[in-house]
Structure formats: C-alpha cells, structure tokens
Amino acid sequence: MENELIMISKKVTKKIFMPVDVIYQGESEKILTNMYLFPDNSVDFIITSPPYADKRKKFYNSIHPDDYVDWFLPISKELLRILKPNGSFVLNIKEHPRNGQRETYVLKLILALKDQGWCWIEEYVWYKKNSFPGKWPNRFRDAWERCFHLTKNEKFKMYQDSVKVPIGDWAEKRFKSMSDNDFKRHLSQTNSSLGRNVSNWLNRKKVYPHNVIVFEEEHYVSNVLEFATECSNRNHSAAFPLELPTWFIKLFTRKGDIVLDPFLGSGTTAYAALALNRHYVGVEKDQEYIELINKQIDKLNKTEN
Amino acid sequence: MENELIMISKKVTKKIFMPVDVIYQGESEKILTNMYLFPDNSVDFIITSPPYADKRKKFYNSIHPDDYVDWFLPISKELLRILKPNGSFVLNIKEHPRNGQRETYVLKLILALKDQGWCWIEEYVWYKKNSFPGKWPNRFRDAWERCFHLTKNEKFKMYQDSVKVPIGDWAEKRFKSMSDNDFKRHLSQTNSSLGRNVSNWLNRKKVYPHNVIVFEEEHYVSNVLEFATECSNRNHSAAFPLELPTWFIKLFTRKGDIVLDPFLGSGTTAYAALALNRHYVGVEKDQEYIELINKQIDKLNKTEN
DNA sequence: GTTCCGCATGAATCGATAG
DNA sequence: ACTATCGATTCATGCGGAA
C-alpha cells in the first residue's frame, strides 16, 4: 500500500504534509524525532501499550523498572510535540510485582509526565474478567490494567456519544428498590442539576459509559467486528485486544483523523484505526511484525474493494 | 456497652492489654499516639476511608490537596506502630479532579508511605457498577475507587478461602465434557511454563476472586445511609457500603481479631467487624456520629440476646 | 442455522533449587 | 547475598468442527 499524504493544517501559510497509513521500522526514541515524518501538532490521537518494565533477561531488550521513567520521558516529549493541541494520548500500562510488592515506576511516570507538561485528565480501568489464572499466598490474580488519559491542554476533543452503551439491568432494579425520598435525597446530594433530567435519563435506551471499561459480547460494533474476525485478531485474552484501541479511537477521533501508536506490536491499533476509517501511523522495531501487519492490511483492503 | 479488655500477647512477660469495642472521640493524629490505648503491634487489621482532600471552603475542616501527604504521614506512622507485624492496612481513597485534571496527592502518598516503611502489596479496584449518572465534557462518571493493600512486612496473614466466589457458568459445561487430555498434565504448546490439569477443578464450586471487587447490590445498614446523607456536608468520605470492610475483614482477619478504623465516620467498619465477631476500635471526631453508632450497636446487641 | 463439545491459551507469580 | 531457572498453581473465553 502506498503512503498517503494528507494536509494537516489549512491555517498555516506553509502547508505541512504528514505521511500516514505507514509503519516505520525502528526505535521510537529515534524515529519520533524526525520532524518531516512527525511534524509538530500533527496527530489527533496517540494510543499505545509500551513494553512493560521487567528485570528478567529472558525478555531481552526489556527496560529495568528503575530506568523506566528515564527511558520513557524522551519519547513522551516527542509525543507531546507531535500531538495536536486538542488531541489525546492514552497510555495502557500496569506495573508488575517485584519481591512481593507492586513496582512504583508507573506512579513516578505519571508525576514526571505532568512535570513534562502533560495534563493528566483521567485514569480508566480496563477490567479483564478473564485474566490469567494463578494462586499465590499474598495476592489474587491481576484482573485490571491502567489506561491513563493524558492531553496537551485542559480543553480537548471528546466524542462521548460514539461510545454510548445500552442501559444495564441494574438501573431498573436500582430505581425500583429506592423510595421516592431516597431518590430525591441522593440526587440532591450528588448533583442538584441532575434531578430535572432524570425522567429523560430513565427512558433513554443508551447511556454514557463510565471509567471502568469492560468488554462484553454486546459491545462489538458490527463492521469493526467483521473486520476484526477477518484479521483473526478478535481474541479476548490478547494482551491488547482490538476492542481497547477501538473504544478509545471512537471516543477521541473522527473519520479521517490520524492515530499514532509508537509501539505498534502486532498492529492492533492500526487495524482498529483502519476499520474505523481513521489514518494510522505506527512505529515498531521488529521487522517481522511489520511485514505481517502490512500483508494483513493489504489483504483487508483487497477484500473490501 | 462496656469496653472489653483483651490480652493481645501471651508471649511478652508484661501482659499488655488494649481496650477494644470502643470508639474514641477526637482527632486521629492525636489519639493514635496514646500508647496505652494503642500499644505497639496490637491491631490485626486497619481499614479506613479517610476524608478526601478538597480545597473548597464549604467543606470546613477539609485538607487541601497540596497538604494532604503531610497531614496523613504522622497518622500512618502511628498506624505502622500499632499494626501487628503480620497485619494489613487497607486504604480506600480516590483523588478528585481539580481544574479538569486528577489530583496527584494519592500517587505521592503511596510513594511517601513506602518511604515511611510500608510495603505496598497491591491496589484493589472497587468497581461501583451503579454509581450515579452525571455528564461532563471531559470525563465520564467515576465508577471506581482505589483500595491500597499495605503491610508492615512482605509476609502477612491472608485467609483467601474465606472470600471465594462461585465458579462461572462455563464450568458446568466444561465438566460435562472431560477429555483424556484433561486428566493428564498437559503442557502448553508455547513456551509458557503453564501446565494444567483440568481434572483438578472437576466439580469445583468456588474459585478465588481477583483484584477487582464488585458488589452486585449494595446493602447499606438502613439508617446509616440516612444519617450519612444528612451529615454529608462534613466531608466525611461517603459511607462505604458494608460489603467493602466486610470483604477485607474476612480476607485479613479471623474471629476475635482486632480491627481499627481511624476515621470511623458513620461506623460501617464497626458494624462489619461486629457482625463477623471481630473486635472493633474506632476514632471519630464528630460526637454526633459516635452517639448514633453506639446507640445502634446497643440495639444490635439487644436484638441478638 | 443453531447448539454443543473439544481444546487451546493468555504481558502471571511465587517458592525452591541451583549456580 | 544475588541472580537465573523451573515447577506448581489457577480461570474464563474464543474458535472450529461435529451433531
């Protein structure tokens, strides 16, 4: 597939173009500094699941927990430069235990990112019901990961309507079981302006989600699902399932926007962007992965035509 | 109800007694320093939901986010002294947004607690499915809170069997169709050293939970909810449901153990401990709360006899 | 078409043992 | 003491072929 050049800004005198729908081979810390490939304020959305810190050697090339922040900051500095002022960055990560305790590098990273200029808007929880099994004397199995929502500014674009979910059974039960007084009291305590809209809310079929993300069968969107099945990437127990970038891309971009993943891995972000008619840009150091992804994408484009 | 004195250690020459089943009126930062009321290494479990940081003045007495860590550390220092070497401390907390961004004091607090000598074992997510609706342009409604599991040592007591949950629906089908392979030890084809012997699970009814805690229905102690609503202006953490301390008390203590809540609020921890035949000790600065809790507990004890 | 059944597997973690 | 390797333990769900 040819790279496609699209104009990223109509306002500047000098028109700047950025190559999209392309995957670069190499280290993010180097490639992202290229101002021709990654101009300032050019990307609408960044989502990635960077390599986790691990002191074990069998994962060669892994970053030691103690070095993680120093390793990540130069990369996030470029991301901050590349991201559009109203864009968003979603960072999926979870610290492992070491010697029975959780590592602290993720906490330190968020503090450091704020120092670097990022706004920390929110931490979403990705709740993985079917997490890896195991039993240990000091902990249960880890069934959730962090998805940090970071931005360049306090104002940013967010298309909440595009990720509405069907109202759950709980709502009906909840309201039935509450007396009128309980209900009024709770509303006035929570948010006084809410009372007026409650009747609307009860009759609505779809509601806004919250900040705990759970993927259930119903949440699949038709054409993304088909697409996903074709690239055999619809795997619930995957490290980074298609649903995760799909959900955030819908939430933070519109058709034609540019999505960047600086650690593309097996290409999940690219598939999700493609299926949603967004442009993708990826960086991945493993040439094998890249060839596989490109082959896959070619196939998908052919079947579509 | 009379205070009950129980011996906390049979090994020491001088027998030390600690008053239990009592609520002290006052500020935790002062009362906890009393070595007669709170001897070293005397409490089996601590769980609390401290007042949230809030810079708004309408919540008088609230702690400013920027001062939160400095305010909390002297208290946690006493907790570290009071807790038994094999005990646990569960801290339920969630940072609010300020100016559109999440506050950072919780992240800083965990780092500071580690410096103070605490072991950070785990962060449990309390997933509040039925959190009330609300809509903002930059975030969805907050449906989860952090429950940090902190200890004095890497080894501690944990009674995992007491919080087992029913196995999922999948199991029934699965058990009906056991193949030969299921009865052998079967090694995964990938490099992961995960082997499994499904026959071990045959007819298993209960499994261990994971680190995302979900309560299907909230059972508030009836008039605790009412009272908490009335007093909501005092910036007490919104009463957590009885299930939360109940779950953790079962997990980390046995009958007769001592449970401490340094910010007792509307008394949920005390009710939970009492119902599970554990001893409670609470600190609360609001005399009104204390009188209500004691009255309530008296009533409960009478109905029991 | 729809349901059922067999089987594969996923960013796991701890403790013991060996070098 | 410190690091590397290996064995033991554990759920939930997707997928493909069969009934």
Is the per-residue pLDDT at A180 higher than 50? no
Q: Is A186 on the interface with B (CB under 8 A)?
A: yes
**B203 CA to D8 C1' distance (Å):** 21
Residue nearest to nucleotide C10 (CA to C1'): A237
CA distance B255 to B257: 6
Counting residues of chain B whose pLDDT is more than 90, the rounded percentage is 62
- B261 CA: distance to closest CA in chain A (Å): 22
Residue B148 structure tokens:
């940090």
The protein footprint on chain C, as nucleotides within 7 A of a CB, is: 4-15
pLDDT at residue B277 is higher than 70: yes
Per-residue pLDDT of A71-115, as tens digits, reads 999 999 999 999 999 999 999 999 999 999 999 999 999 999 999
* Alpha-helical regions (H) of A160-286: 169-177, 180-190, 198-203, 222-230, 243-252, 268-275
Cα-to-chain-centroid distance, residue B40: 21
> In this predicted structure, what is the pLDDT of residue A230?
56
Predicted confidence (pLDDT) at residue A151 exceeds the cutoff of 80: yes
Q: What tokens does A103 get?
A: 């590592």
Q: Is B251 helix (H, G, I), strand (E, B) or coil?
A: helix
* CA dist., res. B278 & res. B20, Å (int): 10
How many residues does this entry show for chain A?
Answer: 305
Say yes or no for a CB contact (<8 Å) between B119 and A137.
Answer: no
The CA distance from B104 to B25, in Å, is 30
Closest residue (CA) to C1' of nucleotide C4 is B173
- Report CA(A305)–C1'(D16) in Å, whole number: 28
**Per-residue confidence at B226, pLDDT binned at 50, 70, 90?**
very low
Whether the Cβ atoms of residue A228 and residue A275 lie closer than 8 Å to each other: yes
CA pseudo-torsion sign B55, A91, A69, A279: negative
pLDDT at A234: 60
What is the least distance, in Å, from the CA of A223 to any CA of chain B? 25
- Residue that wins the pLDDT comparison between B196 and A192: B196
Residues whose CB falls within 7 A of nucleic chain C?
A 49-52, 96-98, 100, 130-134, 136-139, 141-142, 235, 237-240, 263; B 173-174, 176-182, 186, 188-190, 192-194, 196
The answer for residues whose C-beta is within 8 angstroms of residue A16's C-beta and 6 or more apart is A7, A8, A9, A39, A42
Opening angle at CA A269, ends A264 and A272, nearest 5: 160
Give this prediction's pTM.
0.89
What pLDDT, on the 0 to 100 scale, is given for residue A179?
Answer: 42
Over residues B113-126, mean pLDDT? 98
| Region of residue A120 (phi > 0: left; psi between -120 and 50: alpha; otherwise: beta) | beta
| Beta carbons of B232 and A156 less than 8 Å apart | no
Which nucleotide has the least CA–C1' distance to A98?
C13
Nearest nucleotide relative to A266: CA against C1':
C11
Dihedral (CA of A226, A231, A236, A242) sign? negative
Distance from CA(B22) to C1'(C17), angstroms, rounded = 50
Contact with chain A for residue B144, Cβ under 8 A: yes
Test B229 with A186 for CB contact under 8 angstroms. yes
pLDDT (tens digit per residue) in B175-192: 665 555 454 444 443 333
- Kindly determine whether residue A160 and residue B135, on different chains, have CB atoms separated by under 8 Å: yes
Judged against a pLDDT cut of 70, whether residue B257 lies above it is answered with yes
pLDDT digits 0-9 by tens, B57-85: 555 568 999 999 999 999 999 999 999 99
Strand nucleotide closest to residue A137 (CA to C1'): C14
Confirm if A32 and A38 have CB atoms less than 8 A apart. yes
pLDDT tens, residue by residue, A246-303: 999 999 999 999 999 999 999 999 999 998 999 999 999 999 999 999 988 888 777 6
What is the rounded radius of gyration, in angstroms, for the C-alpha atoms of chain A? 21
Distance A62 CA to C19 C1' (A): 24
Nearest-by-Cβ selection for A194 from B119, B134, B158 = B134
Average model confidence (pLDDT) across chain B: 83
Q: How far is the CA of A220 from the C1' of C2 (A)?
A: 21
pLDDT in tens, A19-45: 999 999 999 999 999 999 999 999 999
Contacts within 8 Å (CB) and 24+ apart, B137-141: B137/A158, B137/A160, B138/A121, B138/A122, B138/A154, B138/A155, B138/A156, B138/A158, B138/B100, B139/A121, B139/A122, B139/A211, B139/B97, B140/A160, B140/A208, B140/A209, B140/A210, B140/A211, B141/A208, B141/A210, B141/A211
What SS3 state is found at A190? helix
Can you give the pLDDT at residue A302? 75
Is the distance from CB of B249 to CB of B278 less than 8 angstroms?
A: yes
Q: Report the range of poorest mean pLDDT among A122-136, B44-58, B254-268.
A: B44-58
Contact A80, A150 (CB under 8 A): no
pLDDT for residue B259: 98
In A, residues 102-121, which contact B (CB 8 Å cutoff)?
102, 104, 107-108, 110-111, 114, 119-121
* Closest amino acid to nucleotide D3 (CA–C1'): A56
- Residue A301 · residue A88 · CB < 8 Å: no
Cross-chain residue pair A101–B107, CB shorter than 8 Å: no
Residues above pLDDT 70, as percent of chain A? 72
pLDDT of residue B187: 47
Asked if A101's CB is within 8 angstroms of B143's CB, the reply is no
- Mention every residue, 6+ apart, whose C-beta is less than 8 A from residue A106: A93, A94, A95, A146
The answer, yes or no, to whether residue A233 has pLDDT greater than 50, is yes
- What average pLDDT does range B11-20 have in this prediction? 69
Nearest 5 degrees, angle CA A71-CA A72-CA A74? 85
Collapse the DSSP code of B157 into the 3-class scheme (helix H, G, I; strand E, B; otherwise coil) and give the result. coil
Would you say residue B227 has pLDDT above 60? Answer: no
Mean pLDDT, all residues of chain A? 82
If pLDDT is split at 50, 70 and 90, which confidence band does B200 have? Answer: low
Who has greater pLDDT, B252 or B63? B252
B-chain residue closest to A212, CA distance:
B143
Cα torsion A60, A65, A71, A75: sign: positive
Measured CA to CA, the distance from residue A181 to residue A210 in angstroms comes to 26
